[in-house]
Structure 1
Amino acid sequence: MKLIHAICLFVILVMPTAAAANPVRIKDLVEFDGVRSNDLVGYGLVVGLNGTGDGLRNSPFTEDILGNVLERLGVNVTGEQFRPNNVAAVLVTGELPPFARAGSALDVTVSAIGDADSLLGGTLIMTPMKAADGDIYAVAQGTIIAGGAAAAGDGAAVIQGVPTAGVIPSGATIEREITFDFSRLTTLRMALRTPDFTTADRIEQAINAEFDGAVAVMLDAGTVELNIHATHARSPAHALVRVENIMVRPERRARVVVDQRSGTIVMGEDVRISRVAVSQGNLTLRIQEAPLVAQPNPFANGETVVVPRTDVDIIEEPGIGLAEVNGGTSLSEVVAGLNALGVAPRDMIDILKSIKASGALHAEFIVR
């Protein structure tokens, strides 16, 4: 017996309340111009592996960098044949935080780029790390902490986690600072993480009220400009201390977000549904195989054959009929109207898709 059901994903409905509209600090709504991090990357070598390094026949670049390192250390390996299996070529990545100073430490991530089996127990040797401009800003070195484990035998292997990647806490030292003089700024732009004209206008009004003057102006839905001189603060940093902690109530578009993989539905409090009628039901398809074996008569010149026989049946389960959902004026009424249909939560995704297609769902519908 084969039983195939048309099954929808399980739905978890997250219902924001009025608390979602509570005021939020400006620092949690915007990015300040010039206050940003910079990505760093380097190409290095991990040594000290327990036979789990790169196979140098398949990763010739590992042999090249190992030879270069030994040459710089005064070891002449020109023309020598060496194939150790305790080294691995890696890429080292990190993030240079804003206002980082020379001598500070930062965390780095180490990832194998060859056919190494594991970086457990390895040590990253001195690796320069460059930014997008090609200049070296940090140097990384240290023992790798990998988050996985691997074990293998002649007939089987077990791998847990990702042993070919790891981190080195405080493994890089900043050698060069970003040339940016924040103290000389006369104006500062604030970029909203979620552009919205209403939110930008509220930020402008809140800042002007805090400084009791026209010190901020909204340029567009995603930018608010602050006049540092007009704040009469001792420095741009002192002005931002007051600005970033101002409370603002953000506005947002009505959205319904559906994650089909996990079956999750998230609805914003501004979602509205017009008056609409909905009918829903499920189909169950049953397929039963009952093959028949046909054999020839005794002493007859024939052969045994199998005659396929399939019984197919489609059953329509009782649906909810045609039910009416009144227009919702709030999220609670929208949810109450959908729940009044009496359908299981797993069917809610298909219902919302159909309501959106009919034009009765007044919200941005996002499917992930």
Structure 2
Amino acid sequence: MRALVLLLLIAYAAAAPAERIKDLAQVGGVRGNPLVGYGLVVGLDGTGDQTSQAPFTVQSLKNMLTQLGVTMPPNVNPQLKNVAAVAVHATLPAFAKPGQPIDVTVASIGNAGSLRGGLLLMTPLRGADGETYAIAQGNLVVGGFGVSGKDGSRVAVNVPSAGRIPNGATVERAVPGALDAGGDVTLNLNSPDFTTMQRMVDAINRDAGPGAAHAVDAVTAAVRAPADPSERIGFIARLENLELVGADAPARVIVNSRTGTVVIGARVRVTPAAVSHGSLVVSIAERAAVSQPAPLSQGETVAVPRSTVEVSQEGSRMFLFAGGVSLDEIVRAVNQVGAAPGDLVAILEALKEAGALRAELDVI
């Protein structure tokens, strides 16, 4: 195609390959937990917060110095160019134990120009319940940088106001594991589907015995598991590696209106329809003609604008969709007419409105 459009063709083989349960579902309750904290980054090279516009940075520094035994006069308002107030966030992995390191991300919440070269001071990271689950501290790794001049001009590459600290936090509190409660083990499909759910339940019952698993809904399956924790781990490990053939995805066409990307699913079908595609070209040219007065006359030489407007219609093409054509035939027909991204979207929308497109059309 002449247009810069990416057609991601999702096609399935005649015999779909088997997939593991661990690739289709997740064990219920086994997930990460978000953590967030507020801290200070020090040691910046004059790129910190401007205290006149970020007074909370000065307040935070005064509170920290007071806790460390340093008393500052109340009327002193230091100009801190090497300190920045930041938000720190991380994800506490499932089954994380005290003492284990986790990565943290640091982002400026004031007007700091860059965090490059900064050091994050000890920052508690709290969960949704308000409890502290990790402590973060360390040197930032910033992928971007910025340069500014005295006239206010500034050039930045990537985002210098955010960075990461690999292994920058230490877990202080463990989250109770979902597997310690006993009872049934739940498996949640990544994408709701009744067919895939039934096939997964059948595969588990063939391996663990009739009645070992039953479907709760299109997402969740409950599996009878041993009560002993060590036996439950081995049982879940065996379940994760069971293989089954997942159901085909529903017929769907996804259109990204911002980038022009079009994704057409393999199950998309079109009923009999005819599509005409052509383009109207309008050309407008402006030129100046010089008007020269006759000799010995009182006239003046002037430039007179001349406009030329041409309208041309390129050869329109019409192609016919037979009933139940496949994805390959749809793409081949659209490529033959050289449809641009906007034209392709218009064709798909017209087919949908005409009732000829047997698929969901989602515009994102």
Structures share fold, TM-score greater than 0.5:
yes
CA distance in 2, matches of 1:21, 1:75: 69
Equivalent residues in 2 for 1:69-84, closer than 5 Å? 69-79=64-74, 80-84=76-80
State the shift of 1:306 in Å: 7.5
* Distance (whole Å) between structure 1 residues aligned to residue 131 and residue 229 of structure 2: 35
Contact 2:30 2:178 in 1 (8 A): no
Aligned counterpart in structure 1 of residue 233 of structure 2, from 205, 230, 237:
237
| Residues 326 and 337 in structure 1, CA contact (< 8 A), matched pair in contact too | no
2:38–2:85 CA contact under 8 A, matched in 1: yes
2:189 to 172, 188, 192: 192
Which residue of the partner structure matches residue 275 of structure 2? 278
Corresponding residue number in structure 2 for 1:4: none
How far is 1:293 from its partner? Answer: 7.4
* 1:126 partner SS: strand
Aligned residue pairs total 357
2:310 to 309, 313, 337: 313
Q: 1:59 aligns with which of 46, 54, 61?
A: 54
| Aligned equivalents of 1:349, 1:9: Cα separation in 2 | 12
Q: Tell me the equivalent position of 1:250.
A: 246
Pick from 122, 129, 132 the counterpart of residue 133 of structure 1.
129
The Cα offsets for residues 333-357 of structure 1, whole Å up to 9 and x where unpaired, read as 4434545xx2115343332222222
Native 8 Å contact 1:328 1:334 kept in 2:
no
User: Normalising by the residue count of structure 1, what TM-score does the alignment of the two structures yield?
Assistant: 0.88
**Alpha-carbon distance between aligned partners in 1 of 2:31 and 2:262, rounded to the nearest angstrom:** 33
Residue pair 1:48, 1:86 contacting (<8 A) in 2 also? yes
Q: 2:149 aligns with which of 147, 153, 165?
A: 153
Aligned to 2:29: 34
Shift of 1:183: 2.9
Return the match for 1:44 from 12, 15, 39: 39
1:295 to partner: Cα distance: 9.8
CA deviation profile, 1:164-190 (whole Å, cap 9, x unmatched):
000000000111111235233211222
Q: Which residue in the other structure is 2:362 paired with?
A: 366
Give me the identity figure in percent.
42
Q: Which amino acid aligns with 1:258?
A: V
For the residue of structure 2 that corresponds to 1:239, the secondary structure is helix
Amino acid at match of 2:12: A
- Which structure 2 segments of 5+ residues have no match? none
Describe the SS at the equivalent of 1:173: strand
Aligned to 1:115: 111
Query: TM-score scaled to structure 2, two decimals?
Result: 0.89
Task: Give the C-alpha shift of residue 326 in structure 1.
Answer: 1.2
Distance 1:247 1:181, change over 3 A: closer
Tell me: CA distance 1:23–1:330, structure 2 relative to 1, closer, same or farther (3 Å): farther
The two structures, once aligned, show a CA RMSD in angstroms of 2.7
Which range moves more in the overlay, 327-336 or 161-170? 327-336
Query: CA offsets per residue over residues 269-325 of structure 1, 9 Å max, x none?
Result: 11111111111101112122245678999997x9998766543332211111x3211
Mark the CA change 1:281 to 1:75 in structure 2 (over 3 Å): closer, same or farther.
same
Separation of aligned partners in 1, 2:198 and 2:174: 36
- Point out where structure 1 has 5 or more consecutive residues left out of the alignment: 1-6
CA positional deviation for 1:114: 0.6
User: After the TM superposition, which parts of structure 1 deviate over 6 Å for at least 4 consecutive aligned residues?
Assistant: 292-300, 302-307
Cα pair 1:255 1:366 within 8 Å, conserved:
yes
1:12 matches 2:12: no
State the Cα distance separating 1:122 from its structure 2 match: 0.3
Of the structure 1 ranges 116-125 and 266-275, higher mean CA displacement relative to structure 2 is found in 266-275
C-alpha separation in 2, matches of 1:33 and 1:76:
51
Pair 225,181 (structure 1): closer, same or farther in 2 beyond 3 Å: closer
Check conservation: 2:2, 2:339, Cα contact below 8 A: no
Structure 1 window deviating more from structure 2 (167-176 vs 187-196): it is 187-196
Residue identity in the other structure for 2:95? F
